[in-house]
Amino acid sequence: MHEWNRAVELIEHDLTAPVEVSTLARTALTSEYHFRRMFSSLAGFPVSEYIRRRRLTAATAEILEGGTVLDVAVRYGYGSAEAFTRAFKAMHGLTPSEARQPGAILHSQPQLRFHLRVEGNTDMKHRIEDRPAFRLIGLKARVPLVHEGPNQAIIDFQRGLDPNVTQRMLGFADMDPAGPLSVTDNIEEQRTEGSELDYWHAVASSQAAPEGLDALEVPAGLWVVFETEGKFPEVLQNMWADAATEWFPANPYRWAPGPEMLSVRVEAGGTHGRGQLWIPIERDEAR
């Protein structure tokens, strides 16, 4: 993770100066797409949010040292004192003048340090698949992203599906991953909680989509396939975090654009499940 820490140091070099994410990605020896996606998965929030928090943390120190709101606002790139005050209050829940009062409780964003975590309690069962082009056939909805716990929008979408439509859809399933799939695609790059994505109830197929069902063309490419089993839905949601923090840093691949497919089997009672997570990848030539 040395290159990623160098990218973080580049942000720290001058918190008053703008920094391009493309520059950070080059420093981390990867693409901007992969850098944004991996940063969000590793840190829990987007790189743009991290930069904003770090700059506001430094700006807060100057406010507490007696700097005027206008001077600090201009120094950190805000268009006006009002814009800076709004950002300041969003972070601290206080205005700059209130922050100077004795006993004011403020927030700060520490500098991030990335480490490759080596643990023996996570068995990352995976395989690499080189797949020809195929088609996803099914139904889709635009839903918010939920990092932990049930996603009510997806639950409501699934409950509203006509069982006859699902059976019709399964008649077109003739490729792996088998069975009905939960597919996420067209995810907002920042991947913040509440950001939107396309959720598909679909099957993998080599056939043309029939009338009444949506289709998504998936190009040929490489996939990493993870397998897991345990408490539902936490064990399935943890696969994305484990992939980002443990598998990708240790392997010469990067997250590629494309749909992410989850094949799930939930046992009676809905508290235990097993599944496969398919993530599109490409070789990371920089590594």
Closest CA relative to residue 39, chosen from 254, 262, 284: 254
What is the distance between the alpha carbons of residues 216 and 214, in angstroms, rounded to a whole number? 7
The residue-averaged pLDDT of 272-277 equals 81
**Whether this model's pTM surpasses 0.75:** no
pLDDT band, very low/low/confident/very high, at 121 (cuts 50, 70, 90): very low
> Which among 168, 197, 196 has a CA at the least distance from the CA of 180?
168
**Domains delineated in the chain:** 2-99 (1.10.10.60), 125-283 (3.20.80.10)
pLDDT reported for residue 38: 82
CB 276 within 8 A of CB 227: yes
CA geometry: angle 55, 60, 13, nearest 5 deg = 35
pLDDT confidence tier of residue 1, bands split at 50, 70 and 90: low
Question: Which of 61-70, 179-188, 278-287 shows the lowest mean pLDDT across its residues?
Answer: 278-287
* Beta-bridge partner residues of 142: 198
DSSP sequence for 167-213: HHHHTT--SSSPS-EEEEES--TT--TT-EEEEEEEEEESSPPPTTS
How far are the Cα atoms of 94, 212, 264 from residue 21, in angstroms, in the given order? Answer: 29, 41, 35
Q: Residue 124 — very low, low, confident or very high, per pLDDT cuts 50/70/90?
A: low
The answer to whether the CB of 125 falls within 8 A of the CB of 239 is no
Count H helices and E strands in the chain, helices first: 11, 9
Q: Looking at the predicted structure, is the pLDDT value of residue 118 above 50?
A: no
